[in-house]
Amino acid sequence: MAITAKIKETEFGIGDRVRVVTRLEEGGKSREASFEGMVIAIRGRDSGKSFTVRKIAEGGIGAERIFPFDLPSITKIVVVKKGVTGVKRAKLYYTRSKSPSEIEKIYKRAHTK
């Protein structure tokens, strides 16, 4: 199970808060859309590798999005906040039931190590 990954010279891992910028084609126009949240899973191998990003959306609703590694519409990935060193597991599915203040403890653990 992978804890870190590298896409387009950007190294990120489980527990990091990332901003994934994708290019969307709508009609004849194209625009960029970003999705910012915490990486809760990296799974698969070779061409089937993907990562899951979870954010708290409007009204406190959790929203998850799965991005394949070889998705051509990903223009860049920005690591907003590192949290890999505070993570003790390869999959952070348990954060689905946690409050945002409890999730912040992951980032606090990362800064103390």
Q: Tens of pLDDT along 26-72?
A: 888 999 999 999 999 999 888 889 999 999 888 878 899 999 999 99
pLDDT band at residue 2, thresholds of 50, 70 and 90?
confident
- pTM for this prediction: 0.86
Question: Do β-strands 74-81 and 17-26 pair in parallel, antiparallel, or remain unpaired?
Answer: antiparallel
Sheet holding 62-68, edge to edge: 62-68, 50-56, 29-43, 17-26, 74-81
- Write down all domains in the chain, each with its CATH number in brackets: 4-112 (2.30.30.790)
Q: Tens of pLDDT along 77-86?
A: 999 988 878 7
